[in-house]
Amino acid sequence: MNAAIRAVVRTAIYHDIAVTGIYHGYQGMIDREFVDMNRRSVSSIIQKGGTILKSARCLDFKTKEGREKAYNNIKSQGIDALVAIGGDGTFTGAKIFSEEYDIPVMCIPGTIDNDLCGTDYTLGYDTANNTVIEAIDKIRDTASSHNRVFFVEVMGRDSGCIALSAGVGGGAEAILLPELNSGIDDLLDEIYLAESRNKTSMIVIIAEGDKNGGAYNVAKIVKEKIPHLDIKVSILGHLQRGGAPSSFDRILGTRMGYIAVNELLKGNSKATVGIRGNQMVTTPLEEALNTKELKLDDELLAIANIMNK
């Protein structure tokens, strides 16, 4: 997100447009947490994870009274357009706010789950993948040394993008995804097959939203079915959400911030910026919010199935 913030600020300044940063998102609009930004404000932030402007949930913004207060505050500050970075909640708030007060908005998709419509990749997804693969590599050293089966749970309540990509990239022996109805019997078959080929250690990747109940529950069931296995569970949790962004995410964030400002200058509004192939595109917020886009690549699923065998 910092790469996108930096690009928005510097692109706007290049066009002689003043920029105001808003701390804590919509909550900051209500609480008047404004800061004037210049080129120096965004120096040395492209390598940092998270966001220098912070983030917060804002229940008040869901009310008409809260949005009215936010609008009066930003108008008194001289703000006449918004660039918002976030996910579904951010997009929904931007859409409603723009419709109520006719203020131009452009949204940038930022979520490690990669589950937003209108873009092949969301900000943070590639960095999270790299973090997970690095963790898998380290866990595999222990698994191989001690002949263990590790169940590694990654983020993805409704999306299996991280689990699938990191599972393939990390050479996992099995992957469980929320979008698929992979049963325990299928997993047991994979483990039996691996054992028949004299595999003494395995890595199983499980998305947190998998229908079988998460890594601990799956591990418990497998242990009951195959008692001789030495099973360990590792929940990667929030370490997936931090750290220095990858080169891909830095460049993507920069491109998205640049495009967001230029689209606003062209008069485009109520849209989200995205990347398709290697081309930057915009998608109307209405479409982005109301279209469910399956991000699991069929080819990658087929590859995972073959690599696991």
- Look-up: residue for tokens 């080819």? 299
Which of 80, 102, 113, 141 is the catalytic position?
113
Candidates 143, 130, 107; CA nearest to 49 is 130
Give Dmax over CA atoms of the chain in angstroms: 71
Distance between CA atoms of residues 217 and 71, nearest Å:
47
Looking only at the bridges linking them, the beta strands covering 149-154 and 174-176 are unpaired
Kindly give, in sequence order, each residue whose CB lies less than 8 Å from that of residue 215, ignoring residues fewer than 6 positions away: 151, 152, 153, 206, 233, 234, 235
Dihedral over Cα of 132, 137, 138, 141: its sign: positive
Instruction: Report how far residue 260's alpha carbon sits from residue 222's, in angstroms, rounded to the nearest whole number.
Output: 48
Q: Tokens in use for 283? A: 């998608």
Angle, CA of 210, 114 and 266, to the nearest 5°: 155
Q: Is 113 annotated in the active site?
A: yes
**Helical spans, DSSP H, in the chain:** 2-14, 25-31, 64-76, 88-101, 125-146, 161-169, 184-196, 214-225, 247-265, 285-290, 298-308
Packed helices 161-169 and 298-308: angle between N→C axes, nearest 10 degrees: 40
Residue 221 three-state SS: helix
Three-class SS state of 252: helix
**Do 202 and 151 contact (CB within 8 A), yes or no?**
no
At 116, which amino acid appears?
A: L
| Distance separating alpha carbons of residues 31 and 35, to the nearest angstrom | 12
Question: Which residues are marked as active site?
Answer: 113
